[in-house]
């Protein structure tokens, strides 16, 4: 007759195996859920057009811009916004030697962004030690804002530039995350205001 005695060591080993298996399955479930959310978010952004962007909440517009800059190979740090402690800067972009302070203004298309946002970008770039300042809007800029941008050497990214970037992203869907395992991020040129 064979005796099957279970030792304390065997019991602990089986118990740890079960606990580890449960944690691995739980972790895999969380990872897969996050992956599905991430994939859906990129799918929604890739299919966006300018009229959908006009109707986004400001936070969604900021997230859209973060994704667009990530696709272009920038490291993006979300700072905040209107608070004086952040200098009014929304994002800091890093790519190579470039460090860009970004002010984001999500407005109705009929409104124009004024020189205050340009001044904020210029001052904020100094506060954060950035090489450049940039103001991004889904609308347009006033003539005074364009003059201030020339003087402060702040980049302006308006509705026309946003349309160009959306067209570029649609044309290069195969290079975006979620389409290929090898993401080839490219920077779309943002011209200095001349």
pLDDT tens by residue, 10-55 = 888 888 899 988 888 888 888 888 777 766 655 555 556 777 788 8
How is domain 50-175 classified at the CATH fold level? Answer: Trna Endonuclease; Chain: A, domain 1 (3.40.1350)
Among 76, 30, 81, 39, CA closest to 58? 81
Q: Is 91 helix (H, G, I), strand (E, B) or coil?
A: strand
Query: What is the arithmetic mean of pLDDT over 75-84?
Result: 75
Residue 105, classified by CB atoms within 10 Å of its CB into exposed (0-12), middle (13-18) or buried (19+), is buried
Which two three-digit tokens encode residue 173?
A: 């869907």
pLDDT band at 165 (very low <50, low <70, confident <90, very high): confident
Which two three-digit tokens encode residue 145?
A: 């804002």
Residue 194 has pLDDT above 90, yes or no: no
pTM, two decimal places: 0.64
Show me where the domains of the chain are located.
50-175
What pLDDT is recorded for position 162? 86
Geometric angle at alpha carbon 63, from 138 and 44, rounded to 5°: 90
């Amino acid at each position: 007759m064979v005796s099957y005695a279970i030792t304390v060591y065997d019991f602990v080993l089986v118990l740890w195996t079960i606990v580890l298996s449960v944690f691995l399955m739980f972790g895999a479930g969380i990872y897969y859920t996050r992956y599905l959310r991430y994939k859906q978010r990129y799918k929604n952004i890739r299919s966006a057009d300018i009229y959908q962007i006009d109707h986004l909440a400001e936070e969604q517009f900021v997230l859209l811009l973060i994704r667009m800059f990530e696709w272009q190979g920038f490291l993006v740090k979300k700072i905040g916004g209107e608070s004086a402690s952040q200098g009014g800067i929304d994002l800091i972009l890093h790519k190579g030697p470039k460090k860009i302070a970004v002010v984001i203004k999500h407005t109705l298309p009929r409104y124009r962004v004024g020189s205050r946002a340009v001044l904020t970008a210029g001052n904020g770039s100094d506060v954060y030690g950035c090489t450049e300042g940039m103001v991004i809007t889904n609308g347009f800029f006033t003539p005074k804002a364009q003059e201030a941008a020339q003087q402060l050497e702040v980049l302006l990214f308006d509705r026309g530039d946003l349309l160009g970037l959306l067209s570029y992203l649609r044309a290069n869907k195969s290079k975006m995350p979620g389409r290929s395992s090898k993401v080839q991020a490219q920077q779309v040129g943002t011209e200095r205001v001349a």
